[in-house]
Structure 1
Amino acid sequence: MFAQLAPSPSPSPANVSHFVHRRTFRQCTYAVSASLPTANSSRPPPIQANIIVGGKDLNLDVTRKDDSIGFKLEANEDEIDWMNLESDIRLWTRALRPVQWYPGHIMKTEKELREQLKLMDVVIEVRDARIPLSTTHPKMDAWLGNRKRILVLNREDMISNDDRNDWARYFAKQGIKVIFTNGKLGMGAMKLGRLAKSLAGDVNGKRREKGLLPRSVRAGIIGYPNVGKSSLINRLLKRKICAAAPRPGVTREMKWVKLGKDLDLLDSPGMLPMRIDDQAAAIKLAICDDIGEKAYDFTDVAGILVQMLARIPEVGAKALYNRYKIQLEGNCGKKFVKTLGLNLFGGDSHQAAFRILTDFRKGKFGYVSLERPPL
């Protein structure tokens, strides 16, 4: 017996690497093959099923729920919903104004950073825990080469424990040292300092072998704008040395600071590519306030956020209604924003969009990650 089931069209085979995990079995195309029970068998044979999403065969395990011919499928459903959502985000962003932001100081800083990297014993890359894949620079691996790296996922208070555990396992499989921090409260800061010293502990051993005096370990802290680099340094130092504010572009020059006698830290401005080709990632940067406000249209970004939240099982359209008393019609986020503007802000959609984005950034929808680890 062979059955071809197609509840909805398969999404286009776009790059879906940013969303690959969790929780609802929605749009997909799947094929099921099975044999009818024979006279000598008391139970039907196991079913083999291939789930195809975005042109990819996921080879999911499927088992028979009961012994009747009218069976139910049980599959590892986690991968499907997020892959479809990422594909949809790419579709939604095609008609929008591209999100681009490249202040003049970044070009200068990029050249200086490449020179400073030659002096570093260990590099601390800081990312936003809500969007770890979207907040890494495409040139990062080329810049770092074989240097020792510590990955910091900041704002751990804004994701769930399940998300944290998923990302920890993902990076552990790649052999990457990862620490979760909360730059505002200082959680994880001291552990980061100890790890940086331990990873670069052989520096002075090699210097002694060469007859040189010991020196401080040099660690550079780098990452996208507004991911919490300066706040993290201030927490490590237990005093405000580096300018920090909840907006991108505050740090505009590199600055070395000392942490005790044996660790020097480099605070650097946020680094962005000159052109962001991945607009799905760019939208997420805007949603999480990791890019300058001049780079995007508030109404467009808030509309995409509404559509994303409606699809995320931990939030859903019900949470949007409970907060704003507005029904999401036709999954149209921009219409939702305009309606909120009419209801609360005298028709000002910009203010309505700002309210929605601010609510998300302050955690009013709970612990919500916008990305999942790739398979």
Structure 2
Amino acid sequence: MAAQLSGIWLNTPAVTLAGNLLHCRRSPSATLSAVHTSTSSPTIQIVGGKNLGWNGLQSSKLGSTLDIDIEEFDWIELDADLYHWTKALRPVQWYPGHIAKTEKELKDQLKLMDVVIEVRDARIPMSTSHPQMDSWLGNRKRIIVLNREDMISTADRNAWASYYARQGTKVVFSNGQLGMGTMKLNRLAKALAGGVNIKRKAKGLLPRPVRAGIIGYPNVGKSSLINRLLKRRMCPAAPRPGVTRELKWVRFGKDLELLDSPGIIPMRINDQSAAIKLAICDDIGERSYDVTEVAAILVQMLARLPAVGNIALRDRYKIETDGRVGRIFIQKLALQLFNGDTHQAAFRVLSDFRKGKFGWVALERPPR
């Protein structure tokens, strides 16, 4: 049984990723030489019986994970597959004009901060870490906040907590919408910067509020976190990236000042696997990516995650699938529910994931 699918023409035999996984672990720049573009009416001939990836290529042994324990699941292999799936896609890039100005102003304000609170999305902590953050902060004290802890499992939370504990990094799990974790964050920020007023007193100066800057990627929940800390709406917040567009200092009681900043993101996203995760989690502007392509990759990721798997996809959408080629799944869903509109079908899958319809699961685990 075969199906026709618009995309990239494969004019060489399918190549398995399984044999290349060790190479992928050492060198993430490994590529598949079997993929070529054609100048005429490109299609894919997909034949059943193979563990197919994004473009009909054989994938790694992650094709069936329903019987794999979540603790034994190999996230390195999933990352290797995700890297290869993104190679055939149009690069995802998003850099609104206000971010360049914000970045310059933020670097100036960092000199005034006693402690920096970096907010990340708990579903993708590594992908929502700015590659230049360490160089910007230098020796400045930092707290990492993994926001949206309600959107990940207890196992995910424990894995990240252990990872940061081993690193000696201060981490707080929070839910900016409900305010969970905010009081702990308040106490920790004051404790880390407590030495500031001790030094001022030694110099004969009056004490001043601790200055804490809240920074991070777009739409990770920075403003919501501040509003919960203050217990009133002082900063504009909405469930989409790019709402906050200027730096704003707000006072929290007599001994803490918070800086709310717009989301910052690299001018060029070199890690396209991370870019796809940002798109899936709605942490990047929708105009920067193809919704159908992103949803198709999400299907393939969910099919491989032991906490979700093919059964959950089948039960929700009543579509038989092996999760091997996400684009075919989106096409089937479009025909079944949306009169063939793949954009609407793709948006439904992304929306369902963001609303926890497959359960709350992270898309990343700590590196080993």
Percent same amino acid at aligned positions? Answer: 70
SS at match of 2:125: coil
Q: Which residue number in structure 2 is paired with residue 35 of structure 1?
A: none
Kindly indicate whether the alpha-carbon contact (under 8 Å) linking 1:16 and 1:83 is maintained by their aligned counterparts in 2. no
Where do residues 194-273 of structure 1 align in structure 2 (5 Å cutoff)? Answer: 194-273=187-266
Equivalent-residue separation in structure 2 for 1:282 and 1:294 (angstroms): 13
Selected match of 1:296 from 289, 308, 326: 289
1:336 to 312, 320, 329: 329
CA contact (8 A) 2:70 2:306 kept: no
2:41 aligns with none
Change (3 A) 1:292 1:77: closer
Q: Distance in 1 between matches of 2:75 and 2:278?
A: 18
Name the structure, 1 or 2, with higher relative contact order (CA <8 Å, separation 6+).
2
Residue 14 of structure 1 deviates from its aligned partner by 3.0
C-alpha distance after superposition, 1:247-279 (max 9, x if no partner): 000001000000001100000000100000000
- Give the superposition deviation at 1:95: 0.7
Counterpart code for 1:172: A
Say yes or no: does 1:155 pair with 2:151.
Answer: no
Query: For 1:174-215, what per-residue CA distance to the aligned partner results, in whole angstroms no more than 9, with x for missing partners?
Result: 110000000000000111011101111111110111111111
Match of 1:349 in 2: 342
| Deviates most, 233-242 or 7-16 | 7-16
- 1:117-157 CA distances to partner (integer Å, 9 max, x unpaired)? 00000000000000000000000000000001001000000
Runs of 4+ aligned residues of structure 1 deviating over 4 Å after TM superposition are: 15-18, 76-80
Asked if the contact 1:17/1:374 (under 8 Å) is kept, the reply is no
Could you say which residue in structure 1 is the equivalent of 2:11?
none
Question: Counterparts of 2:323 and 2:177 in 1: how far apart (Å)?
Answer: 39
Structure 1: stretches of 5+ with no match in the other structure: 1-5, 19-26, 28-53, 55-75
Q: Secondary structure at the match of 2:24?
A: coil
Which of these residues, 366, 369, 373, is aligned with residue 359 of structure 2?
A: 366
Residue in 1 that maps onto 2:24? 14
CA contact (8 A) 1:93 1:279 kept: yes
User: Counterpart of 1:96?
Assistant: 89
Measured after TM superposition, the shift of residue 7 of structure 1 is: 12
TM-score (norm 1): 0.81
Query: Offset of 1:315 from its aligned partner?
Result: 0.2
- Is the 8 Å Cα contact of residues 141 and 192 (structure 2) preserved in structure 1? yes
Name the counterpart of 1:86.
Answer: 79
1:179 counterpart letter in structure 2? V
Q: Look up the SS of the partner of 2:74 in the other structure.
A: helix
Q: Distance in 2 between matches of 1:261 and 1:110?
A: 28
Other-structure match for 2:277:
284
What is the distance in 1 between the residues matched to 2:103 and 2:250?
Answer: 19
- TM-score, normalising length from structure 2? 0.82
The structure-2 alpha-carbon separation of the partners of 1:322 and 1:17, relative to structure 1 and needing over 3 Å to count, comes to: farther
State the match for 2:319 in structure 1: 326
Matches within 5 A, 1:26-45: none
| Contact 1:126 1:228 survives alignment (8 Å) | yes
User: Any idea what SS the aligned residue of 1:105 has?
Assistant: helix
Q: Report the structure number with the largest CA radius of gyration.
A: 1
Give the counterpart letter for 2:92 in structure 1: V
- Tell me how far apart the structure 1 counterparts of residues 148 and 142 of structure 2 sit (CA, whole Å): 19
